Structure 1
C-alpha cells in the first residue's frame, strides 16, 4: 500500500476559544481524547485524536493508550494543521468541528495538533519549530499506524507547515507518493497584517510556491469561485505551477495528476464553507482510495 500526505490548504481569520479546556476534548467532541508529545527538549505539544465514528461505542471510558493502539487498525490517518490564530479546538467556531465530524464519519482517524506556542503547547513558535512539531507527529503516527496511510491537512499557516513537512519527508525518502488538496495563501494580496508581521518577525514565511516545485504528489485544488479571501484567479495559478514541478519529476516515473474542483458562486460556499458540500467525504475518499490500490 502506498503512503501519502494529504493537505487541504485555505486561509481565513479566526478567534481563540478561551472557554474550551483543551485537555478535555470530550466536552465538545465525541470519541476524542487529548494527549501530549515531547517533540524536543523543553517542548510539549498538545494533540486531539478523533476516532472513526464507527468506533464510538468502543471508545467509551478509554484513555490515550487505547486510542494509540487504534491507529494500527487500517483506517487512514489525517493530521490536521491549523492556522495562525487557531488551536486544535477550532479556528472558525464550527468549521473545524464540521470537518472533524465529516472525516470521522467517513472512517478516518484525525489528529489535531497545536504547534509550540499555540494553545497549551509549550515553547516559542518559529518556522523551523512548527515544522519540527508536525514532522515529529507524522513520524510518531506513521510508526503507530504500522505502515498505514498517513496524511497532512493544512489550513492557512498550516499550509506552510504541511508543505515544509512534506518536503522534509520526501527528502528522507520515507514514502513515495503524496496526496494533496491545495489552496495557496502566500500569494494573497494584503496578507501582511499585524498577525502576519508578527510571524515575519519570527522568520515564519513558509514558501509554499517553492515547496510545490519540489513535491511529486497528486494535487487536488478545492476552490469556491465566490471566495472573498483567496481570489479564484489566484487558485488557477497553482495548476500550471505544479505541472512544471511534475515535468521535472518524470524521470522518477511519477504518474501524479493535478486536478481542480471549482464550486460555483451560486452555491454560496465562499471561503470557509466548502465543508458544506455533501460530496466532500466522497471526494477525499476517492483520492485516498486511489493511493491504496
Structure 2
C-alpha cells in the first residue's frame, strides 16, 4: 500500500491539474509503447491502443488520458528513474462512449463499477475486533499498487519539441531522462537531464537567446538607417570618420625619442599659426649617420643643405608618424640617401588643433617654406600617401597659383581623384551604396564638412613632375582611380614625360599601405628624378 505522502505525490491537487491542463493528444498520438509514461497508452482499465489489452480486459479505448502523471521514481525508491503505468497514476480517466463499457467491465470484475484509477472505497469494519472484511465477507479488495521499479524507463525523444512533449517532461520531473534520437534504437545518442535540454529545445531558455538576437538585429538596423541622417545633420561627425585622428596608434609613443623607431632621427615642432603646433621627425641619410652622433638640433637643420634630396612625407588618415608602415618608409628612404621629414598634421598625435583641409594646407605650406630656407639647392619632394595625396597637390597648387613656385617633384602613393569619389568606393560605404539618398546624405555632405581634396583639379594646374604609384590589390582605393588621375595629369601636362605611372602587381601583395615595404622604392624615386631633370 502507498503511504499517505506517496499518495499525495502521485495524486496532484485539482489546482495543479487545472493549471497544467490535459495533454493535447490521444492515446494513439502519444509516443512510446503501450503502458509507458508519456505514451498515454493505457486507460484506467489498462487497455492499450489499437486493441492491445494490458493489465485488464475491455474494449479498445479512443478516449483521452486526463490529468498529469506522478513523478517517476516516487514509489520505486531512490533507484534510477522509472515510469508508472496509467493504472497506477490514479488521475487517468477515460472519456467518450467507451466509459460506460469500462464501468460495466469494472462491475463484472468485482470493482463495484469504479475505475481503478478513481481510487477505492474504504472497507467497512465489522466485529468487535475491528477487523476488515475480506473477500469472503463481501468486502472489496484494493488492488496492490504497481511498483515503479518494476517498469521500464521510457525514452523521451529529443527531437519532439511539441507542447505535449514539453508538458510531459515537466511532469516527469528531474528524474526523467532526455534521450536523443538513435538511443532507443540502439544508436549512440546521449542522455541528459530533462531540465536543461528541454528548455533549450523549445522552452524559455531556448527562446531568450532568440529574443536577444532579434533585439540586436533591430538595434543594428536602426543604427544603420539613422547613420546617414546623423551625418547629414552633423557634418563634423563625418570629418571624424574621414580623418580618424582619434585613432592615434600605436598608443603610448614617446615622440621625443624617435631613435627608438628610426636610426639617427630627431624630433622637433613648428608653429604654423597661433596655438597650432605640429610635430615632425627628421631622419638623416645613411651617409650622415656617423657625423650626427652627439650633434644638436641646429646641426641637423644645417644638414638639409648637403644636396641630398629631401622628402616631406604626408601620411594617410589615422595613426601617427610612428605607425608601422610609415616607420618602414622613413627607414627605407633614409637608407637610400634621402632626408625624410615625417609630419603629423594638426589634430594628429602630439600636434595641437583640429584637423581640416585648409588647416593641413596651412601647416604644410609653412613647413615647405621652413625647409626651403635651410635646404639650399637640395631637391624638395612632396610624398603623399592616401589622404596625404590630396594635401600634397593642394599645397603644390597653392604654391604655383599664389607664389609662382613649382615644387621639384610630387609622388602620389595610392591616390584618389577627389574625396567624393574616394568615399563612394571605399569598403566602409559599400553597405550604403544602395541606400536611398546615398549621394545626398553622405557624398554631398563631404562638401558641407569642408572636405574636397580635388586631386583631379589640382594636377591640371600643377607644373611639377608627378609620379603615381598604385597597387593592383588596393582594396581601399581601387587602382582605377590612380589610372584615371594619371590620364588627367598626362593630358593636361605640356611635358608628358614628367607624368609617370607605376602599377604594382597583385603578386607583390602591397595592398593599400605597404608599397613602402618595397626595397626598390629608393631606386624607383632616384630614377624618376633623373628622368625629369
Interval of TM-score (by shorter of Structure 1 and Structure 2): 0.7 to 0.9
2:460 maps to 213
2:360 maps to 130
Identify the match of residue 267 of structure 1 among 508, 514, 530. 508
Whole-Å Cα distance in 2 between the matches of residues 176 and 164 of structure 1? 12
Whichever of the two has the greater Rg, that structure is: 2
Whole-Å Cα distance in 2 between the matches of residues 159 and 103 of structure 1? 18
Identify the match of residue 262 of structure 2 among 13, 26, 29. 29
Whole-Å Cα distance in 2 between the matches of residues 116 and 287 of structure 1? 31
Deviates more, 1:214-223 or 1:25-34: 214-223
2:471 maps to 224
2:211 maps to none
> Which structure has more helix as a fraction of its residues?
2
Shift of 1:201: 6.3
Q: Given that residues 284 and 340 in structure 2 are in contact (C-alpha distance below 8 angstroms), is that contact kept between their aligned partners in structure 1?
A: yes
For CA contacts below 8 A with separation 6 or more, give which structure has more relative contact order.
1
Q: How many residues align?
A: 272
Q: Given that residues 312 and 383 in structure 2 are in contact (C-alpha distance below 8 angstroms), is that contact kept between their aligned partners in structure 1?
A: yes
Q: CA offsets per residue over residues 49-76 of structure 1, 9 Å max, x none? A: 0000121122122222111110111111
SS in structure 1 opposite 2:305? coil
Distance 1:238 1:176, change over 3 A: closer
2:15 maps to none
Q: CA offsets per residue over residues 231-258 of structure 1, 9 Å max, x none? A: 2333221222112321xxx3xxx46532
Identify the match of residue 164 of structure 1 among 369, 394, 412. 394
> Which structure has more strand as a fraction of its residues?
1
SS in structure 2 opposite 1:71? helix
Shift of 1:205: 2.7
Distance 1:84 1:276, change over 3 A: closer
Q: Given that residues 414 and 512 in structure 2 are in contact (C-alpha distance below 8 angstroms), is that contact kept between their aligned partners in structure 1?
A: no
Deviates more, 1:153-162 or 1:104-113: 153-162
Whole-Å Cα distance in 2 between the matches of residues 183 and 99 of structure 1? 14
Shift of 1:125: 2.0
Shift of 1:145: 0.2
Q: Given that residues 427 and 475 in structure 2 are in contact (C-alpha distance below 8 angstroms), is that contact kept between their aligned partners in structure 1?
A: no
Q: Given that residues 33 and 50 in structure 1 are in contact (C-alpha distance below 8 angstroms), is that contact kept between their aligned partners in structure 2?
A: yes
Whole-Å Cα distance in 1 between the matches of residues 415 and 528 of structure 2? 20
Whole-Å Cα distance in 1 between the matches of residues 522 and 407 of structure 2? 24
Q: Where does 1:138-177 land on structure 2 (aligned, <5 Å)?
A: 138-171=368-401, 172-175=403-406
Identify the match of residue 311 of structure 2 among 70, 78, 100. 78
Q: CA offsets per residue over residues 140-170 of structure 1, 9 Å max, x none? A: 0011001321111112221111111010112
Identify the match of residue 109 of structure 1 among 333, 339, 352. 339
Gaps of 5+ in 1: 1-10
SS in structure 1 opposite 2:510? coil
Q: TM-score, normalised by structure 1?
A: 0.83
Q: Given that residues 127 and 204 in structure 1 are in contact (C-alpha distance below 8 angstroms), is that contact kept between their aligned partners in structure 2?
A: yes
1:184 maps to 415
Q: TM-score, normalised by structure 2?
A: 0.47
Shift of 1:95: 0.8
Distance 1:284 1:178, change over 3 A: closer
Shift of 1:274: 2.0
2:329 maps to 99
2:119 maps to none
RMSD (Å) for aligned C-alpha atoms: 2.7
Whole-Å Cα distance in 1 between the matches of residues 383 and 408 of structure 2? 15
Whole-Å Cα distance in 1 between the matches of residues 368 and 399 of structure 2? 9
SS in structure 2 opposite 1:184? coil
Whole-Å Cα distance in 2 between the matches of residues 271 and 183 of structure 1? 7
1:59 maps to 292
Shift of 1:218: 2.6
Deviates more, 1:225-234 or 1:48-57: 225-234
